[in-house]
Structure 1
Amino acid sequence: MKNSRLFSGDRYATRGIADRIEPAIQMALWRAIEVRKARGDELDYLQVFELSVEMVDGEPLQKVLNRQEQPEHRESFYVDGVQEPIGGVTIWVIDSGTYCTMLFPDEY
């Protein structure tokens, strides 16, 4: 599969994601992939997002680390508009070649 075609198919989230991850976070993860594509980054078919909470000026902020293995990449960002930031959660976004799925690793 050509890299430029990665993450171009229909997008789905598992029931676990829909039940446990608020829409603002889900949208931010999809947007992070789009930003990387627009920059021309080489994307792996598996994008890993690690969620954590960081306190800034006494306020909890949603922090996200996006990483991939091939080629190696690590990048952190914050998500605005999150009602209840969550930590200690890993989310995968996988491109199957036909569609893209957001899921928890234990749902694979």
Structure 2
Amino acid sequence: MKIQRYMTKGIQENLPIQLQFALWELQMNLRATEKDIDYLQVYRLSTIVKDSKTFQVIHHEAEKPKYSAVYCLEAEISVKDKIYIITDNYEDSLVETMLFASEY
């Protein structure tokens, strides 16, 4: 099945490209390992500084089926926000859109 990916202008302009790629990768890996995923994936972003290094923490959640995972990546620029990836199913394709929760 074909997957089309989109992002809002807010994501494109305000989320570092490395983090955009990381979130798409997490979404793709989840889709590859789980048979049925929720149409709404929630990514809560926070920051940890340890030993003068900055880390991006990504808490990934979904309601149905219940899913939760936490990832930690070293990052030059970190973000504190909540991001959604919303999936729309069509006959021949899936359309995924990444947006800040505030844009919903």
TM-score by length of 1: 0.83
- Other-structure match for 1:100: 96
- Other-structure match for 2:77: 84
- Whichever structure has more strand as a proportion of its residues is 2
Structure 1: 5+ residue stretches without partners: none
Cα distance in 1, alignment partners of residues 32 and 97 from structure 2: 20
Cα distance in 2, alignment partners of residues 78 and 52 from structure 1: 10
- Conserved 8 A contact 2:83-2:98: yes
- Equivalent of 2:67, from 50, 70, 73? 73
The sequence identity of aligned pairs, in percent, is 29
Segments of 4+ moved more than 4 angstroms: none
- Other-structure match for 1:15: 9
Q: Once superposed, what is the RMSD of the aligned Cα atoms? A: 1.6
| Number of positions where the alignment pairs a residue of Structure 1 with one of Structure 2 | 100
Rate the CA distance shift 1:85–1:41 in 2: closer, same or farther, 3 A. Answer: farther
